[in-house]
Amino acid sequence: MDIPTLPCRLRDDVRIMRTGPKDFRIVDNRTNTNFKLSAADRYLLSLISERNSIGEIVDAYKSKFRTPLASTSVHDFIGQLTDLGLLEDGEEVAQPAAAAASLSPALLPLDDASVPNTTRVNQFFDVLTLLFGWMLHPIWLLIVVPTILMASVIIVRRWTLYYSQCLSLWSSYPFVPLFAASYLQTVFFETLPRSLAMGVCCRRFGGRVRRFGLEYGKWVLPTVAFSTDIGESMILMNARGRWTLIVSGVLVPLFLGALYVLAWACGSHGTSLYLFWMLMIAPSGLMILFQINIFSLNATTHWGLAWAVDDWQLHSRALNETKAWLLGRRSPQALTPRERFWLRVYGLCSLTLRIGIDLVLFFGGGYFFTHFFGPSGAVAFLLMTAWWNREHLKVLWRATGSIPAEAWNNLSAWRNRRSEPTSSPPTDLDLTSTN
């Protein structure tokens, strides 16, 4: 096949996406395929679209990387792009139907156009990966594991002291300011480090972060925490990346909790720092329990279970099957008796845990507002709960006529208009960019 004359440019429907600090992908929207590029390949791709001769490309490449480049390598690189049909006016090689059908759907959604500013988020984590990616090396287990074991021994041996000091602290200070301070500590010293570690791990192993920031929890009461949404990056990763993400999701809160226990044990009684670290121990325990919860979509242990059973839709399939079974409806999917049994077991456990946590939050919040603010606090709590769960209660409200159907439709339309983007999301990367 003849090599096209320089400069050679990619087709308009072919784009380049950054998938790591030094990793890129060429995404062919026409065939839904993608191909990996190194940073050097990415620069070479920009050169063949700008320079008029092989000699200019070789000189620019050598000036950039201080490494010689053979002209035959440039010919081969352009030939590969031509064979794949990625260049303008290049001959496209039709893929067999069987090959197209075998493409993994997990490789297709590399980016979500409905989520704006993903480029900035990923560039932010690229910088963190370059600075702190070395902390993901397994050698650090030689420090992390002994630290966790040492803190476990300390908290077990001093549990009575810790428990009595907690009771004294909460009875000596006003509840509302102390609770607010403890909550803020948890947000910034528990959820933030874990979210940053997840984003770094995702980028380190070729994943793509969709969102990062403060998010509200979808419980019966609003909760606020830092969160990193990595989309379907778990599916894109290799085995090493998956293992690292799963293990780090558990070890990070364990290690943080261990550090807080050691800081409390070594601190001076009665000082502000002593009380600060003591307030971090209980939230660390809750975060650890959350991360080992295989029924939570945000826990890496759940991703590990989904990987083990080779079912990345495990949670939704189990809930759909369980709800159909409990409501006496036909099963939404064809399953073997063994699959149906285990999906129902998982679904029942997930629903039971979710309802239990919601009940604890509801009655705990009701007691808190009633105890500290009286009847007006109870009314405010019920109104806040109803508003927060309005999507779940809309069926009841419409059925009882509490909200007329026309008013409800107008409210839904107004909410939908407010949620629509006011402008089209920016493209991921400029094709001519060399970053």
pLDDT in tens, 56-78: 888 888 888 888 888 888 888 88
Q: Cβ–Cβ contacts within 10 Å for residue 247, how many?
A: 17
With a cut of 50, say whether residue 111 has pLDDT above it. no
Mean pLDDT of 144-149: 96
Alpha helices in 187-238 (DSSP H): 192-204, 233-236
Beta strands 23-28 and 14-20 are antiparallel
> Half-sphere exposure of 403 toward its Cβ, with a 13 Å CA cutoff?
14
* Backbone φ and ψ of 244, nearest 5°: -65, -40
Per the CB < 8 A criterion, the answer to whether 291 and 299 are in contact is: yes
Q: Cβ–Cβ contacts within 10 Å for residue 415, how many?
A: 11
With a cut of 80, say whether residue 40 has pLDDT above it. yes
Q: Residue 346 is inside which H or E element, if any?
A: helix 337-388
DSSP class of residue 110? Answer: S
Mean pLDDT of 87-97: 52
pLDDT for 383 equals: 83
**pLDDT single digits (tens) 190-223:** 999 999 999 999 999 888 898 899 988 776 777 8
Q: Cβ–Cβ contacts within 10 Å for residue 389, how many?
A: 16
DSSP class of residue 239? Answer: H
Per the CB < 8 A criterion, the answer to whether 306 and 106 are in contact is: no
Question: What are the beta bridge partners of residue 15?
Answer: 27
Residues 213 and 141: their CA atoms lie apart, in Å, by 28
- 155 exposed, middle or buried (CB, 10 Å; 0-12, 13-18, 19+)? buried
How large is the angle between the packed helices 239-266 and 141-157, nearest 10 degrees?
40
pLDDT for 114 equals: 45
Mean pLDDT of 2-25: 77
Per the CB < 8 A criterion, the answer to whether 71 and 54 are in contact is: yes
Per the CB < 8 A criterion, the answer to whether 205 and 237 are in contact is: yes
Q: Residue 410 is inside which H or E element, if any?
A: helix 405-419
Q: Identify which has the larger pLDDT, 375 or 94.
A: 375
Per the CB < 8 A criterion, the answer to whether 1 and 13 are in contact is: no
For the entire predicted model, the pTM comes to: 0.68
Residues 78 and 3: their CA atoms lie apart, in Å, by 7
* Backbone φ and ψ of 383, nearest 5°: -65, -40
Alpha helices in 205-336 (DSSP H): 233-236, 239-266, 272-291, 300-308, 314-326
Per the CB < 8 A criterion, the answer to whether 29 and 35 are in contact is: no
Residues 36 and 302: their CA atoms lie apart, in Å, by 28
Per the CB < 8 A criterion, the answer to whether 324 and 332 are in contact is: yes
Q: Identify which has the larger pLDDT, 266 or 20.
A: 266
Residues 368 and 374: their CA atoms lie apart, in Å, by 9
Angle (CA) 14-19-21 rounded to 5° is 125
With a cut of 60, say whether residue 141 has pLDDT above it. yes
Residues 307 and 314: their CA atoms lie apart, in Å, by 10
- 248 exposed, middle or buried (CB, 10 Å; 0-12, 13-18, 19+)? buried
Residues 313 and 335: their CA atoms lie apart, in Å, by 14
Residues 168 and 209: their CA atoms lie apart, in Å, by 43
